[in-house]
Structure 1
Amino acid sequence: MRRVWPLTVRGTGALLLALACFVLASELGVIELVYFGVLLLAVLVAALVSLYLAHRTENVHRALSPDTVTVDRDAEVRVRVGVRTAMPSAPGGWRDTLPKGLTGRAQGVFPSLGSGLRSGDRSVDLHYTVTGVRRGVHAIGPLSVTSSDPFGLTRRQNLLGDRTKVIVVPAVVELASLAAYAGDMGGTQHTTTNQIGQGADNLIARPYTPGDSMRRIHWRATAHADTLMVRQEEQESTPQATVVLDRGALRWASDAMHAPGADPGFERAVSACVSVTARLVQDGYAVDVIDSDGTALAEPIDGGESAEVDDLTRHLATVTTRRDDHLPRLPHLFTGGLTGPVVVITGRFDEEDAVALAPLVHHSVLPVLLAVSPIEDGLTRATQAGWRAAAIRLDDDLGASWATVADRGANRVLG
């Protein structure tokens, strides 16, 4: 924070005039000019002393709406400054210190204040808008307030309050729904018949409730229970989906390992991760978000729980890459059965990677591959193996790429 010259333009003019009076008094022999110069200096000193001797206490409280800032989205910051001062003050200026992860015009006019000897503590409300530019945890503050004396001759810069932590979360892009295909991809419209053993007599029975069809009456269970029982033939399934965010450092720029937001390519991948997860959750899937080695990046999210998606964005606000490369061994995590949609989001992707991931296609009803930096014929080879593959480069439209791979009839490469 730069230091502020303690005199205003008016005060600086008064100081120059006092010096000029001393020079002219010596040259012209007019003693009255010395008295006038001394008077100006005395006024300046008194004004400066008043800023430092007046009893003044301040506290700063910041509140954000919403409480997290999204990359490329705006958020409002409200600042309440509690003030107690023994002497009146003229209007001044204020400026809040913004980190590199946020941008905005955090400055304005600090209002004049009267003496607080009778009125006691007062508060000044300030507000401004910030925009998220870099994912991570950042800090706003301290607040700089420049105050002046009632005559406007001197000024003082005060740094007020502590820093306020702000979480900048990855951007969430609205993606096309998979709901139209939920029945055959394991979604919420899918139902299963849960039969124990063979024959209708082995179906689960429950007490009759008004509205049940008479065709569903389970007569044997009714005879045993001595109350009307009906067949419980249908049971809602719990569809599962997996989103894999590949954090292998070899697939991203080296900066991605050091700090969140340093590599634009990895930022696109993180944004795609939360966007795809949000889409699947809205479509009713229970989603696991994992690294390519199977490590969970967040708690499993139940279908329809949008609040848990917000928690995911907070978890991913600080995620970075790591040294190990586990993507070629990813199919081993899914051997032994068939699962729902599997969405793999990676950076650099070539033909060798496509060959390594090919076995995973047979264990997912909807294998989707999104690559930020595909090279050679990697995506073409992956598509031939059965993946719904697309490039999501920085200049690509993420929504359009997802719409292509989510299209039931699509089985081609985009990009």
Structure 2
Amino acid sequence: MLSTLTPRGRFLVAGGGLLLVVGALLGERPLVQLAVFLLALPVLSAAMVARERFRLGARRTVTPARVPRGESADVLLEITNADTRPGGLWVLTEGLPGDLGRAPQFLVERLPEGATASLHYRVHGHRRGRHVLGPLRLKLVDPFGLVERSAVGADTAPLLVVPRVRGLGPEGPAGGQGGGGEGSRRTIAVHGEDDVSTREYRHGDDLRKVHWKATARTGELMVRLEERPWRAQATLFLDTRSRAHLVAAHRAGAPTGAWTGPGGDDCPPPDSLEWVVEATASIGTALASRGAVLRAVTDAGELVPPSGRGRLSTEDLLDRLAAVGPSRVASLAPGFEQLCRAAGDGPVICLLGAVGPDDVEALIRGRSGPTVDAAVLADIESWAGHGVARGRRELSAASRGVLARQREDAAALLRQAGWRVAIAGADRSVGDVWAELGGPGSPGAAHVPSPASAAVLSSSAAGTTGGLT
């Protein structure tokens, strides 16, 4: 019985026991009678609650069943009394993960036989992922609130919080390009078929792409620069390594204003990993709307549709990205190998965290040839200083300088190999970075650091030098 007492019931029992002792010592019979009454009341309440029987049915309707990060969903919880007797005083608590907010509580009193009570509450998708609503916890309480009895149901309902899809606009490397069958190519011509863009021959280039007229004119072996059509097949690569990102510490209900973001964004990504996940979702959605066959690969493996093979639809891509989290993979090389196998003749877009020249060498070797692919490198230092370094000490000025130099060296190496490169910081939107990839002279253009990035890199805060290992 003691285990079923509420705090109020425990205080009542303690008070009754004290009165009983005082009344016995002083010989005051009224105090003893009052003490007996106080001690008997919880016993009677416990007996009443223990005899109560119930049969409940619970049904949840989540609208919508999948929401973007930062959006809310409405839940209709229908409670049905399936017993042949009216219910008692029920306190219902809905089980919710901390990522969706505080667990709601409801009070239902004497629900008639076969009747249904409709209860409403709202959940907010603070964090991307697959969440479970429920189970429902029922507490039977006596009218005095002295005793309670709990029971937990087995009914649950899923809620999927997917990445936010940002609008990209008509700019970007995929803008304005023609269609074509899978594996077809489009030549980049400046003034006509006789003036095709060329570059010097590199080890691994296909000899069938040698441009003999340019070779004869320059005296060096030259190859044609061709760009694969974005409406055939496009493959996205997502770097999810925990050592390559600053991952935000979870704080349910944290105000979005606590995070740095581009102007006008009411729900900016809280960390660099969320930024590249949302960029993958946004770019993939834009390419799919233009007819591209999508494939997506992470450092931990390929994201495949439910069938296990074939193209990824927009819904499949968002569903798979909803469950993507930081991985413990140390090297990008295995992921790059799988990327090169999956991409085939289609273009590649890589969204990377903290990388250096050694990290991108395998990618350049695997994608060598007269092609134009794109890479986005995350400026993770721009997310530092906002409480996002979960489980790590703050980055020192020396560490930030090392990361910046490694990133610029990796970007220069990619540009030399013919890649289009852009740098993504906390103050840059996905649309701005996408437009930069498709801007004039993108393959060799130098990135101008954003003001926020420059401020972070010039910080002189004291600390221990260290990377993201």
Tell me if TM exceeds 0.5: yes
Question: 1:8-407 maps to which residues of 2 (within 5 A)?
Answer: 9=8, 11=9, 14-16=12-14, 18-84=16-82, 86=85, 89-90=88-89, 93-100=91-98, 102-114=99-111, 119-178=112-171, 182-184=175-177, 186=179, 239-247=231-239, 249=241, 252=244, 265-291=272-298, 295=302, 297-298=304-305, 300-301=310-311, 308-319=313-324, 321=327, 322=329, 325-326=333-334, 333=341, 339=346, 341-352=347-358, 357=363, 360=367, 363-364=370-371, 367-372=373-378, 375-394=407-426, 396-407=428-439
Counterpart in the other structure of 1:230: none
Check the 8 A contact 1:57/1:83 in 2, yes or no: yes
Identity of aligned residues (%): 24
Counterpart in the other structure of 1:232: none
Q: Select the structure that is richer in strand.
A: 1
Tell me, in whole angstroms, the C-alpha distance in 2 between the residues paired with 1:349 and 1:145: 51
Check the 8 A contact 1:103/1:130 in 2, yes or no: yes
Check the 8 A contact 1:4/1:157 in 2, yes or no: no
Tell me, in whole angstroms, the C-alpha distance in 1 between the residues paired with 2:339 and 2:141: 68
- Structure 1 unaligned runs (5+)? 193-236, 256-262, 303-307
Check the 8 A contact 1:350/1:378 in 2, yes or no: yes
Tell me, in whole angstroms, the C-alpha distance in 2 between the residues paired with 1:317 and 1:368: 24
Tell me, in whole angstroms, the C-alpha distance in 2 between the residues paired with 1:331 and 1:249: 16
Check the 8 A contact 2:131/2:160 in 1, yes or no: yes
Tell me, in whole angstroms, the C-alpha distance in 2 between the residues paired with 1:251 and 1:47: 57
Deviation at 1:309, TM superposition (A): 0.8
How big is the alpha-carbon RMSD for the aligned residues of Structure 1 and Structure 2? 4.2
Check the 8 A contact 1:89/1:150 in 2, yes or no: no
With over 3 angstroms needed to count, the CA separation of the structure-2 counterparts of 1:326 and 1:128, relative to structure 1, is: same
> Deviations 1:81-136 (Å, cap 9, x if unpaired)?
3335646534x644333335x2312223313225xxxx413333333332334444
Bigger CA drift: 308-317 or 240-249? Answer: 240-249
- SS for the counterpart of 1:72 is coil
Tell me, in whole angstroms, the C-alpha distance in 1 between the residues paired with 2:339 and 2:88: 70
Tell me, in whole angstroms, the C-alpha distance in 2 between the residues paired with 1:167 and 1:332: 31
The structure that has the greater radius of gyration is 1
Bigger CA drift: 104-113 or 16-25? Answer: 16-25
- Report the residue type matching 2:100 in the other structure: T
Tell me, in whole angstroms, the C-alpha distance in 1 between the residues paired with 2:337 and 2:14: 77
- SS for the counterpart of 1:127 is strand
Deviation at 1:53, TM superposition (A): 0.9
- Report the residue type matching 2:125 in the other structure: G
> Deviations 1:186-217 (Å, cap 9, x if unpaired)?
489xxx9xxxxxxxxxxxxxxxxxxxxxxxxx
Tell me, in whole angstroms, the C-alpha distance in 2 between the residues paired with 1:130 and 1:82: 22
Tell me, in whole angstroms, the C-alpha distance in 2 between the residues paired with 1:94 and 1:301: 44
Check the 8 A contact 1:270/1:316 in 2, yes or no: yes
Counterpart in the other structure of 1:198: none
Indicate the structure whose relative CO is greater, using CA pairs within 8 Å and at least 6 residues apart. Answer: 2
Alignment coverage as a number of residue pairs = 346
Check the 8 A contact 1:281/1:287 in 2, yes or no: yes
Counterpart in the other structure of 1:211: none
- SS for the counterpart of 2:100 is strand
With over 3 angstroms needed to count, the CA separation of the structure-2 counterparts of 1:386 and 1:109, relative to structure 1, is: same
- SS for the counterpart of 1:184 is coil
With over 3 angstroms needed to count, the CA separation of the structure-2 counterparts of 1:138 and 1:103, relative to structure 1, is: closer
Counterpart in the other structure of 1:7: 6
Tell me, in whole angstroms, the C-alpha distance in 1 between the residues paired with 2:230 and 2:407: 37
- Report the residue type matching 1:398 in the other structure: V
TM score, norm. by length of structure 1: 0.67
Tell me, in whole angstroms, the C-alpha distance in 2 between the residues paired with 1:179 and 1:403: 4
- SS for the counterpart of 2:80 is strand
